[in-house]
Amino acid sequence: MHELGIVFHVIKRLENLAEENKLSEIQSVTLEIGEVSGVVPEYLQDCWKWAVKKTEIMQNSELKIEPIEAVTICNDCKKTYRTVEFGKTCPNCKSDNTVLQVGNEMNIKQIEAC
């Protein structure tokens, strides 16, 4: 379960940010997660609920997750398509000369703090 490692990394980054900006509490964090990133949002939520209780500044913080749709581009016909639905094969020209454009990333999008 790599979600726990991700949560620890995010918490550490937020603690450093809170210290740099003299924040007393982080109320919520919004993460963008690509739908083919391999991160399971439900596992991430469970790990978050457990891990934030161990930090003073984030004990009551909420984790919000926004999915990023995976999009692939075909190098032959130059069209984009939804990756999860069609996989590596372009639905327009049937080529497998394709590259994932977005949908594999995870970003800290927003932090609500005081």
- Which domains occur in the chain, in start order? 3-113 (3.30.2320.80)
Smallest Cα–Cα separation from 70: which of 88, 87, 85, 83? 83
Which amino acid would we find at residue 65? I
Is 93 annotated in a binding site? The answer is: yes
Is 2 annotated in a binding site? The answer is: yes
Output the pTM of the full model.
Answer: 0.85
Helix H or strand E segment including 48: helix 41-51
Is 47 annotated in a binding site? The answer is: no
Is 114 annotated in a binding site? The answer is: no
* Calpha distance 71→114 (Å, rounded): 36
Is 9 annotated in a binding site? The answer is: no
pLDDT confidence of residue 2:
87
pLDDT confidence of residue 1:
53
* Contact (Cβ atoms closer than 8 angstroms) between residue 47 and residue 4: yes
pLDDT confidence of residue 53:
93
Mean pLDDT of 30-55: 95
